[in-house]
Amino acid sequence: MKIPEPTIERLPVYYQCLYRLKENNVVIVSSEEISSRVGVKASQFRKDLSYFGEFGIQGLGYPVTHLMERIASIMQFDTEHKVAICGAGHLGYALARFPGFAKWGFKISHVFDKDPAIIGKKIGDVVVEDINLLPYDLKVPMGILTVPASVAKETASLLIKSEVNAILNFTGVKLDIPESVVVRNVDISHELAVLNFHLMGKPQ
């Protein structure tokens, strides 16, 4: 069964909501409560979960810890996934230092850059490596692309030759990649554009 992309995108949102509920010692939660917290209709929440099985207890709600564990298992938050960052500029540096990844199972294992001034330096507990060492079999499934747009395509190609199968692309450049590689483009301009669209029509 093909799971709709928006459903997949909402699972981390539900997980984060459950995580906060658990921190606040909530044991059982209704779909309506989750709905109001994450801004998704309760019926949509129930439909999203239905792709993965039965989770709720009739007339009672969802056991917070159990549902968290199930989503963690579906999304593999309970396994470590190594991630290589290409481009240790400000954005790459910020991501390499980001404290929130561990909770989701992500571990920055490599940081690459071409600048001799930072190669060999440590970011957190990762030593910046020379990007010219690529390609080699990194044994890392995911890469984050934070290089300048001018070298985006060639760097993506290096990652793919290094057996990286998924790329989070911050460069704003459309990558030409083989079908076997998964890409997600993060474009902050688009986020601002959507935000601005919602501002229109609001009283200023």
Binding site for its own copies (CB under 8 A): 6, 8-9, 11-13, 16, 20, 37, 74-77, 81, 83, 89-91, 93-95, 97-98, 100-101, 103-106, 141-142, 144, 165-168, 172, 174, 180, 182, 184, 186-200, 202-204
CB of 77 to its own copies, least distance (A): 7
Q: State which amino acid sits at residue 101.
A: F
C-beta closer to its own copies: residue 50 or 57? 50
Task: Annotate the chain with three-state secondary structure.
Answer: CCCCHHHHHHHHHHHHHHHHHHHCCCCEECHHHHHHHHCCCHHHHHHHHHCCCCCCECCCEEEHHHHHHHHHHHHCCCCCEEEEEECCCHHHHHHHHCCCCHHHCEEEEEEEECCCCCCCCEECCEEEEEHHHCCCCCCCCEEEECCCHHHHHHHHHHHHHCCCCEEEECCCCCCCCCCCCEEEECCHHHHHHHHHHHHCCCCC
C-beta closer to its own copies: residue 135 or 172? 172
C-beta closer to its own copies: residue 58 or 197? 197
CB of 46 to its own copies, least distance (A): 19
C-beta closer to its own copies: residue 59 or 201? 201
As a whole number of angstroms, the distance between CA 151 and CA 89 comes to 13
CB of 159 to its own copies, least distance (A): 13
C-beta closer to its own copies: residue 54 or 137? 137
CB of 180 to its own copies, least distance (A): 7
CB of 35 to its own copies, least distance (A): 14
